[in-house]
């Protein structure tokens, strides 16, 4: 597991009540890292946040971490 996956998993785990309500998939190819967060419909709002603030903050955080390694991180949220 990459540090990007672990960081996203940590934040999502603390945002949501149950660990069964989400899964995270990570795919790393060269300097590109794609992370997909699959959440139940009920918890979608908790991950996205009001006006998308939570997911935007997570994307900014991961981009700043990845910039140090000269990588690009893309985070996508999907419904299970």
Q: What is the pLDDT of residues 37-77, one digit of tens each?
A: 999 999 999 999 999 999 999 999 999 999 999 999 999 99
Q: What is the pLDDT of residues 19-42, one digit of tens each?
A: 899 999 999 999 999 999 999 999
Q: Which domains, and CATH codes, for the chain? A: 3-79 (3.30.300.20)
Both tokens assigned to 32? 């590109």
Please tell me the pTM assigned to this model.
0.91
Burial class for 70, CB neighbours closer than 10 Å (0-12, 13-18, 19+) = exposed
Distance from C-alpha of 6 to C-alpha of 8, rounded to nearest angstrom: 6
């Amino acid at each position: 597991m990459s540090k990007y996956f672990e960081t996203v998993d940590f934040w999502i785990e603390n945002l949501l009540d149950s660990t069964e309500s989400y899964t995270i998939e990570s795919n790393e190819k060269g300097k590109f890292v794609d992370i997909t967060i699959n959440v139940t419909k009920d918890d979608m709002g908790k991950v996205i946040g009001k006006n998308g603030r939570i997911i935007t903050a997570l994307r900014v955080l991961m981009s700043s971490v990845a910039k140090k390694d000269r990588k690009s991180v893309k985070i996508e949220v999907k419904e299970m």
